[in-house]
Amino acid sequence: GEDVEQSLFLSVREGDSSVINCTYTDSSSTYLYWYKQEPGAGLQLLTYIFSNMDMKQDQRLTVLLNKKDKHLSLRIADTQTGDSAIYFCAGELIFGAGTRLAVHP
Amino acid sequence: DTGVSQNPRHKITKRGQNVTFRCDPISEHNRLYWYRQTLGQGPEFLTYFQNEAQLEKSRLLSDRFSAERPKGSFSTLEIQRTEQGDSAMYLCASSLKGGYGYTFGSGTRLTVV
């Protein structure tokens, strides 16, 4: 069946770049998404990329898509403590288990 | 519009009881989704509607679970004969048709004792 896999944890120093990776099996999704969940809060759509694009940039966020390898990544430039959260990769219906990003001084 | 609204926020029930949750989506969104999330996991897809039509159901959705969206606006999710394994956060989301991502509600936390 369809599956989305992510590494579970990432720790970065404040001011560094964070890269969160995701692999997926379903190639029929027209869009791929990144959501953010802060502690005790609901999921919030962060950004998305159309499946025929290979890159999308939105302020500090850069999404890279490699369709051949079915690999999606989210890069956060100049990571801040407020970026500490769980980040979920998702296709049209299926979500990954989430990557917990911890930002330390 | 205040976003996606879910009620109740919390529900504690005894094993074997039936429970019903309600979701009010963003008014112009024609798609509505139900997910279940347990601690340390991502949202698990349960079912979704386009307007009043239920278009897809997960194999996770046993016959104890039923969802409705009678007039294409709000939706209800009912769990019959609850089991301890049903304890989770039940999330509702809505979207415009295709490609805009979801807006999630705050969820209903179910505890089965």
The average pLDDT across A29-37 equals 93
* Pairwise CA distance, residues B38 & A38, whole Å: 15
Residues, chain B: 113
Taking only the tens of pLDDT, chain B with its 113 residues reads 579 999 999 999 999 999 999 999 999 899 999 999 999 899 999 999 999 999 988 877 789 999 999 988 999 999 999 999 999 999 999 998 767 799 999 999 999 99
SS (H, E, C) B85-102: HHCEEEEEEEECCCCCCC
Q: Which residues of B touch A31 (CB under 8 A)?
A: 98-99, 101
Q: How many Å from the N-terminal Cα to the C-terminal Cα in chain A?
A: 41
Q: How confident is the model at residue A1 (pLDDT cuts 50, 70, 90)?
A: low
- Structure confidence by residue, pLDDT tens digits, B15-26: 999 999 999 999
Does A33 lie at the interface with B, CB-CB under 8 angstroms? yes
For residue B82, which amino acid is it?
T
Strands B44-50 and B31-37: antiparallel
pLDDT at B58: 87
Q: Which residues of A touch B91 (CB under 8 A)?
A: 42-43
- When scoring A2, A6, A95 by the number of chain B Cβ atoms within 10 A, the one with the most, hence best to mutate, is A95
Three-state secondary-structure class, residue A80 = coil
Nearest Cα residue to A76 out of A9, A8, A5, A16:
A16
The average pLDDT across A15-34 equals 92
- Structure confidence by residue, pLDDT tens digits, A57-93: 999 999 999 999 999 999 999 999 999 999 999 998 8
Radius of gyration in angstroms for the set of CA atoms belonging to chain B, rounded to a whole number? 13
The distance of A70 to chain B (nearest Cα, Å) reads: 18
- The first and second tokens of residue B61, run together, are 């959705």
Asked if A95 and B106 come within 8 Å (Cβ–Cβ), the reply is no
Q: Which residues of A touch B103 (CB under 8 A)?
A: 45
* Pairwise CA distance, residues B11 & B34, whole Å: 17
